Amino acid sequence: MKLVLVGTSHHLAPVELRERVAFPRDAAAVLAGDLAESGLECVCLSTCNRTELYLATDEPDTAEMAAEARLEAVGSALYRLRDEAAALHLFRVAAGLDSMVPGEGEILGQVRTAYEIGATGPFLDRLFRQALHAGRKARAQTGIGESPASVSSAAAALAEQVFGDLEGRAIVLLGAGKVSELAARNLLSRGARIAAVANRTADRASTLAERLGAEALPLERVGEPLGNADVVVSSTSAPGFVLRREDVAAALRGRRGRPLLFVDLAVPRDLDPEIASLDGCYLYDLDDLEAVVTETLAGRRREAERAEGIVAAEAERFCAWQASLDVVPAIASLRARAEEIRAAELAKAEARLGRLTEGERRTVESVTAQIVNKLLHLPTVRMKQAAAAADGVLYADAVRHLFGLGEDDR
């Protein structure tokens, strides 16, 4: 079984490309199921910063082409990894080491969700369970997640840079999900106030607005609070723009040149890029936040190095297990042949064994089984060790030849 990864991320693709292959939860589950119909295992990990397809298959070239076809909208901005490199990449992703903000905590939950809705079998089940373990271990044993920086906190830091002081500044939230709430909490901690929460679902808007002491609005009325707002933070799951240039232009008439900061945390983007062309309007998207994020990294570099070591060790463990799969059929055939011989010899001795008591017969069964197990223990261990060192196939072929296991046991 081979591991194939095809994907794109903020390292290769700007947000206008990433949004073309951004799959909401249900769509990611459907995509994984569709690819799995051809007999492979599949998980689709789709976040604001990446979309990646993980495939377990006996035909890696075919699987890779199928994955590329699903992500063709990003053109050449794809990376392709296999086996050890693909496993290490996932483990780094789960630990937050490949994120725009190293150590950010949201990614671990996103990896878990992708695993839960994916079309997994024994191979990807093992891979993702171990990746989640590696992510938790890296965060528990290092300080990479301390003083958590995230895209949401970066948005608050950017707002502070623009206005100098956020005390009393009015914030409008578009979207009532987790990212919006995290951004709101970060802005509140810097002295801002949440004026309004607009969302397509009224109940969710009301719930978040109540917690934040804000007004709840339907999304179609989002233009109303813009006249008095200082910052607009948008993070909805809408497939297209929820706020266009003309909507903002209408709200600017009574502002008398006061600056208005827009922060778009959504993929696909919520805010029309043309908003930035309006006087007094400043628009930043996820890619723009990367420069803000970079300033928070200096204190995390040493912890990130420690986390890299933990992740590499966990990935090595997985790869040793994957390599051992090449020799498992030979080991199983060898043990089956040994058990067949043991049972046949006991059957030949049945005339003499018949004089034994039931307890004595059980002792003979136990002793002969232990002899077989002890004889095969060291060869089994050595074959698995050889598999981890890339000699497993040679050892497996030698065992088949020496013990006459034959082609049917391959």
* Phi, psi angles (nearest 5°) of residue 195: -85, -40
CA distance 239 to 242: 9
The residue among 291, 250, 277, 282 whose CA lies nearest residue 263 is 282
Q: Output the six-digit token pair for 299.
A: 């204190």
Point out the catalytic residue in the list 42, 48, 281, 319.
Answer: 48
Neighbours of 204 (CB within 10 A): 16
Cis peptide before 24 (omega within 30 of 0): no
- DSSP annotation of 42: E
Residue 185: exposed, middle, or buried by beta-carbon count in 10 A (0-12, 13-18, 19+)? middle
Active-site residue 42, yes or no? no
Q: Is the preceding peptide bond at 259 cis, omega within 30 degrees of 0?
A: no
CA distance linking residue 217 with residue 246, whole number of Å: 20
Nearest to 405, CA basis, from 319, 324, 336? 336
Q: How far apart are CA 177 and CA 197, in angstroms?
A: 11
The alpha carbon of 166 is separated from its chain's Cα centroid by a whole number of angstroms, namely: 34
CA distance 270 to 243: 7
Burial tier of 25 (Cβ tally within 10 Å: 0-12, 13-18, 19+)? middle
Q: How far apart are CA 184 and CA 233, in angstroms?
A: 8
Q: Which of 299, 311, 320 is nearest to 107 (CA)?
A: 311
**Cα 236 to Cα 198: distance, rounded to the nearest angstrom:** 10
Give catalytic residues, as residue numbers: 48
